[in-house]
Amino acid sequence: MSLEDEYRVDPEVTQWQGRFISAKTRGRWEYVSRARGIKAAVILAITPEDEVVLVEQFRIPLGKPCVELPAGLIGDDDGGEGELAATAAIRELEEETGYRAGRMEDLGEYYSSPGMVSESFTLFRAYDLERVGPGGGVEGEGITVLHVPRRELPQFLDAKRAAGYGIDVRLLLLLSPFWFKE
């Protein structure tokens, strides 16, 4: 029987569910999904000075700080059901980094690790950035805003990795031009 046939035949069983995630099984597969169908918005923001706006925060699952693109959950607040992904991206960018985007471009839906997590995120490109606050996220997030010249990003991330930081996989989209030079 193919995996697709197994998917159709085996029911999905929720083994455990918390406020934000669910551990599930379907046949012999174990995976995690966002509870209540919540998705995420991820934002690529580059300043007029050609600096990538990143965030750094301690991540409990990693046990260490991680360098990431700004991101957040869509409709995760009480009463936030039905929030548009673009609205969440605008909100999260301002909360986490202190920047307001004049325009957001939807670059599509992507899956982080489809072999074990069903979560998807919508990637947005922020344009016409205006600094309107300090950023840092909401209380308890402990977010540090980073401005990294795009041309220095590989060296910056290498230094952070060497210092024991985690690096978000989505930063690969900014590194590929450095890896595929002719």
Tell me: the pLDDT tens digits for 70-125?
999 998 665 567 889 999 999 999 999 999 999 999 999 999 888 888 889 999 99
Whether the predicted pLDDT of 8 surpasses 90: no
Q: How far apart are CA 132 and CA 72, in angstroms?
A: 19
Spacing of C-alpha 92 from chain mean position: 11
Tokens of 109: 């839906």
Give residue-wise pLDDT tens across range 113-135: 888 888 899 999 999 999 999 99
Show the DSSP H helices in the chain as ranges. 3-9, 85-97, 153-162, 172-179
Whether the predicted pLDDT of 144 surpasses 70: yes
On the CB side of 33, CA atoms within 13 Å amount to 14
Contact 69, 43 (CB under 8 A): yes
Give residue-wise pLDDT tens across range 24-62: 998 888 999 888 778 899 999 999 999 999 999 999 999
Q: How far apart are CA 149 and CA 154, in angstroms?
A: 10
Whether the predicted pLDDT of 176 surpasses 90: no
pLDDT at 77: 66
Q: What percent of the chain has pLDDT over 90?
A: 65
Q: How far apart are CA 135 and CA 157, in angstroms?
A: 21
